[in-house]
Amino acid sequence: GETVLAQLAGADLVVVTRADLLDDTVTSEVERWLADMVAAPVLRAPVPTAVLFGPDPIGDDTLAVPEDHASTSHISMSRRFDAPVSRGSIDVWADARPGGVVRAKGIVRVDDRPDERTVLQVCGATTTVAVDGPWDGGESAVVAIALPGTSRAAIVKWLKLLR
């Protein structure tokens, strides 16, 4: 009813579960209906846990692909920053996200507030940028998670928009 429609309207990500109980035709119809109802990506379970709960820890390189880069369930890439990123580059980055990127999260220093910790989050159709307290001297980095088939070059280009 109304409650379900309201929840769908506010969703960042919709995951269709128990599709094994329906035939493929009905499942596809449900997915099309959901795609017409919500702006959020509609995914069929199983969904990689990294998409739901966040990325794995990042590596040591400024732009890295985790060792399990042969994963068929998702693509994960990260980027570290040695200096604050510009506020303008965050706006460009948020608007240019490749379609296959379903989640990204990072903690960065921003040039107009270098003494504060800024959290960047992407989940489905929602992007948030929020100050989260004073900078604690930790690592400045962003990790992106994308669906299989997403161009790695597009993800690298997107992460490099943050400068």
Are residues 114 and 144 both part of a single domain? yes
Q: What is the mean pLDDT of the chain?
A: 85
Are residues 135 and 57 both part of a single domain? yes
Residues 6 or more apart in contact with residue 136 via CB below 8 angstroms = 117
For the chain, how far is it from start to end, CA to CA, in angstroms? 45
pLDDT category of residue 48 using cuts at 50, 70 and 90? low
Are residues 54 and 75 both part of a single domain? yes
Are residues 86 and 24 both part of a single domain? no
Would the pTM count as exceeding 0.75?
no
Provide the domain count of the chain.
2
* Residue 78 pLDDT: 92
Distance (Å, whole) CA 127 – CA 103: 9
pLDDT category of residue 21 using cuts at 50, 70 and 90? confident
pLDDT of residue 27 exceeding 60 = yes
* Residue 124 pLDDT: 82
* Residue 42 pLDDT: 87
Give tens-digit pLDDT for 114-153.
999 999 999 888 899 999 889 988 889 999 999 889 999 9
**Pair 43, 13: CB distance under 8 Å:** yes
% residues pLDDT > 70 (the chain)? 85
Exposed, middle or buried by CB within 10 Å (0-12, 13-18, 19+), for 5? Answer: exposed
Distance (Å, whole) CA 14 – CA 12: 7
Structural domain range at position 21: 2-44
* Residue 30 pLDDT: 93
Task: Give the CA angle between residues 23, 34, 13 to the nearest 5°.
Answer: 110
CATH number of the domain encompassing residue 118: 3.30.1220.10
Higher pLDDT, 58 or 95: 95
pLDDT category of residue 34 using cuts at 50, 70 and 90? very high
* Residue 58 pLDDT: 46
